Amino acid sequence: MTSLSAPVTSKPSPIDLLLKHDKPVPRYTSYPTAAAFEPMGWQEMADQLARPSAHPLSLYVHVPFCRHACWYCGCNRVTTQLGSKVVGPYLEALTKELELVTASMPQRRRLSQLHWGGGTPNYLNAAEQTLLWETISKHFDADADLEASIEVNPEFVDRPQAFGLRQLGFNRISFGIQDADPTVQKAVNRVVPVDQLRRVMGWLREAEFKSVNVDLICGLPLQTPERFRKTLDLVRELRPDRISLFSFAYLPEQLPLQRKIAADDLPSPRERLAMLEEANQLLTANGYEAIGMDHYAQVGESLAIAARQGSLHRNFQGYTTGGELELLGVGPTAISQFTHLFAQNQRDLKAYYRCLEMGHLPTERGLMVRDPDVLERRSLIQAVMCRFKVEVEIARFQEEWEDLKSLAADGLVTLDEHQGQGSARVTTEGRWLLRTIAAVFDPQQRQRASGSRLL
Ligand SMILES: C[S@@+](CC[C@H](N)C(=O)[O-])C[C@H]1O[C@@H](n2cnc3c(N)ncnc32)[C@H](O)[C@@H]1O
Ligand code: SF4
């Protein structure tokens, strides 16, 4: 007897589809991205600051110092044990920069957001933190509902520090867990015992921070689904308001310290995806909403509400609720972001000091963005990254529409066409590759893929 069998058309598995589309892409915290910045003098920034504006600002203050270097870290930082010996001159420089910035402004501006990032802002001792806060207060008026946030390394947080930061005026705080497993922690030179992480969360809750965020990294060396599960169990126990779940950006050619991490020790793409998916399932089953590509927020938290209402925004600090606020960055490498101008400060600390000694703003690179095509692409990329759907006139974006069709064939987006208007909506599977979908509207990425992969 012969059996008639239909030809077997094997459907690619979700992981195969993700691997197929997972290429190096930017994180799209801006468009154009910082990679497109060109050398730029301080005058453009001074001209921008001189424009009258009644709108409040978001102020980013970079604190570059760390006591030791975590090998995975891609942030701009300076490792030093010198403490106040380096912090003293640094605070003087920041004071000078703030004076130059506000002297360029025709009126006193309000702040609706303030963020201290790093590096490690809690490298500063209590007196230094107070001095920096007071310096900022001298130059800006704080909105009554100012969102003031700070990034801290939990290794150096104690109870007085938690209360001190809250009393100063911070109402949001973020600390890195990365991975709670001792083997993984040792493999990346970042050892913070679980008991300390528990104590830190206890103090932050006791001090009544409105929102506590933790950072996790998926894809670290020696991380396995079993080990990562323990980290997720800890996170469920700590119940932060927000979670940033980053995919490890391993770029040893650009980041020399990452060369201490052997590529062979990294989990495979399949393991990495398994960990990301398990995290997604666990968190969404435990009262968190997935926001964008790498954030989770408790249902009812402001980021989750903004995501639902379509008012989520993205800037150099990641996802925010602050709408189209102008972003002013101070400190080395800090980026200021206005509708038509990006300006980035000197990367090198000595060069940053030199500019201020010479009495001018420390701008090193930047970009003026006036081209309407670029501005339109910016809003399309923002729509994908923040609202997870995008609408275009197909005749004007034919190539992009074709690319979206091939992503749709693999289930990453769903498409609708109506009278020449096309709309693409990111599917649950597609959320993992949000950046790849956004990159459809980025002509530079069509020429040459650059950035980091998900897996
Ligand atoms: C500027 S760091 C500040 C954190 C703070 N200094 C600490 O140590 O907890 C911000 C976060 O970026 C993430 N990060 C740093 N390097 C990364 C990389 N190569 N890939 C993915 N995430 C990274 C980490 O989760 C880290 O907590
Ligand atoms: S993760 Fe934090 S403490 Fe570690 S090197 Fe990076 S900025 Fe410094």
What would the pLDDT profile of 342-365 be if each residue is shown by its tens digit? 999 999 999 999 999 999 999 999
The pLDDT of residue 366: 98
The pLDDT of residue 1: 39
The pLDDT of residue 112: 95
Task: Please choose from 63, 73, 155 the residue to mutate so as to test ligand 1's pocket, defined by most ligand atoms within 8 A of CB.
Answer: 73
Smallest Cα–Cα separation from 27: which of 294, 218, 328? Answer: 294
Q: Which residues line ligand 1 (CB under 6 A)?
A: 72-75, 117-118, 120, 151, 153, 175-176, 178, 215, 217, 246, 248-249
- Tell the residue nearest (CA) to atom 4 of ligand 2: 70
Q: Which domains does the chain carry?
A: 34-330 (3.80.30.20), 371-445 (1.10.10.920)
Hey, what long-range contacts does 136-141 have (CB within 8 A, 24 or more apart)? 136/59, 136/61, 136/98, 136/111, 138/98, 139/98, 139/99, 139/101, 139/102, 139/108, 140/57, 140/59, 140/102, 140/108, 140/109, 140/110, 140/111, 141/108, 141/109, 141/110, 141/111
Distance 270 CA to ligand 2 centre (A): 27
Task: Please choose from 61, 122, 246 the residue to mutate so as to test ligand 1's pocket, defined by most ligand atoms within 8 A of CB.
Answer: 246
DSSP 353-381: HHHHHTTS--EEEEEE---HHHHHHHHHH
The pLDDT of residue 10: 59
Q: Is the CB of residue 109 less than 8 Å from the CB of residue 53? A: yes
The pLDDT of residue 7: 46
Q: Which tokens is 16 given? A: 């195969």
DSSP 237-282: HH--SEEEEEEP---TTT-GGGGGS-GGGSPPHHHHHHHHHHHHHH
- As averages over each run of 10 residues, the pLDDT of the chain (455 residues) reads 45 78 90 95 97 94 97 95 97 98 96 96 98 98 96 98 98 98 97 98 98 98 96 98 96 95 95 92 95 91 91 89 88 96 97 97 98 97 95 96 95 95 94 93 80 74
Q: Is the CB of residue 138 less than 8 Å from the CB of residue 108? A: no
Cis peptide leading into residue 117 (ω within 30°): no
What's the whole-model pTM score?
A: 0.94
Tens of pLDDT, residues 227-272: 999 999 999 999 999 999 999 999 999 999 999 999 999 999 989 9
Measured CA to CA, the distance from residue 151 to residue 154 in angstroms comes to 9
Ligand 2 atom closest to Cα of 153? 3
Ligand 1 atom closest to Cα of 121? 6
Ligand 1 atom closest to Cα of 117? 1
Coil, helix or strand at residue 174:
strand
The answer, yes or no, to whether any atom of ligand 2 lies below 6 A from the CB of 121, is: no
